[in-house]
């Protein structure tokens, strides 16, 4: 009986420790070069609006983000595109998708995109295909969440051809490397 209690206690402990993992979202790592190769559309733009809504069958909440395109690096796009993702808030109902992107009107972004439905797009690699852009005092654009400082991203699964750079990475340099132009 004592052994049974110990085994049962170990199982309960293991399940308790594993419970947070049930809420995790697992995403296969994709390097910027992989996204550059696999994405249908690569653009720089500004978020103009964000809205959440129920799908037609009222089973999912989706968030649509409108992006005013400044530059198109790969593919063809009009002046404004829609990016759609699962999750959002409609009325008193919130659907969280762990690892989903947040959007703010006015933010400048570099996006690696794949077709969604209709004329809409989705971000490649779940959250990995969105890069925030910051500008210095002279207006030069830099990737905010690319490797910076003394950090280098190496050794991650699928990291072959990984961008390697010390210090901030200029937007144009990042795009050229991701799209295999350098």
Q: What is the pLDDT of residues 52-107, one digit of tens each?
A: 999 999 999 999 999 999 999 999 887 999 999 999 999 999 998 877 889 999 99
- How many CB atoms are located within 10 Å of the residue 61 CB? 20
> What mean pLDDT comes out for the span 136-149?
74
Each residue's pLDDT tens digit, 25-40: 566 787 888 989 999 9
- How many CB atoms are located within 10 Å of the residue 132 CB? 14
**Residue pair 122/83 in contact by the 8 Å Cβ criterion:** yes
User: Out of 40-49, 103-112, 168-177, which region has the weakest mean confidence (pLDDT)?
Assistant: 168-177
96 in a domain, yes or no?
yes
> Is residue 152 over pLDDT 50?
no
pLDDT of residue 118: 84
Whole-angstrom distance, CA of residue 9 vs CA of residue 6 = 5
- The beta strands (E) that lie in the chain are given as 41-54, 61-74, 80-86, 88-90, 93-95, 108-115, 121-123, 130-135, 141-143, 169-170
Q: How many domains does the structure of the chain reveal?
A: 1
9 in a domain, yes or no?
no
> Is residue 162 over pLDDT 80?
no
**Residue pair 142/168 in contact by the 8 Å Cβ criterion:** yes
16 in a domain, yes or no?
no
Q: What secondary structure does DSSP assign to 2-51, as a single string?
A: HHHHHHHHHHHHHHHHHGGGGG--------HHHHHHH-SEEEEEEEEEEE
pLDDT of residue 137: 92
> Is residue 172 over pLDDT 70?
yes
8 in a domain, yes or no?
no
Residue-range definition of the domain harbouring residue 43:
25-178
Strands 130-135 and 88-90: unpaired
* CATH code, domain with 49: 2.40.50.120
């Amino acid at each position: 009986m004592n052994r049974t209690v110990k085994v049962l206690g170990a199982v309960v402990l293991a399940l308790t420790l594993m419970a947070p993992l049930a809420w995790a979202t697992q995403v296969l790592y994709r390097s910027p070069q992989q996204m550059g190769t696999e994405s249908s559309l690569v653009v720089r733009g500004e978020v103009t609006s964000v809205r959440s809504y129920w799908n037609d069958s009222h089973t999912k909440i989706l968030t649509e983000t409108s992006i005013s395109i400044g530059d198109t690096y790969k593919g063809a796009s009009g002046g404004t595109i829609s990016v759609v993702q699962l999750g959002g808030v409609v009325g008193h109902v919130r659907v969280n998708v762990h690892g989903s992107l947040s959007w703010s009107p006015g933010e400048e972004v570099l996006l690696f995109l794949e077709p969604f439905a209709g004329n809409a797009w989705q971000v490649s690699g779940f959250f990995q295909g969105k890069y925030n852009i910051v500008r210095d005092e002279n207006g030069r654009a830099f990737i905010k969440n690319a490797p910076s400082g003394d950090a280098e991203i190496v050794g991650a699964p699928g990291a072959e051809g990984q961008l390697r750079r010390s210090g901030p990475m200029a937007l144009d340099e990042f795009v050229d490397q991701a799209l295999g132009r350098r």
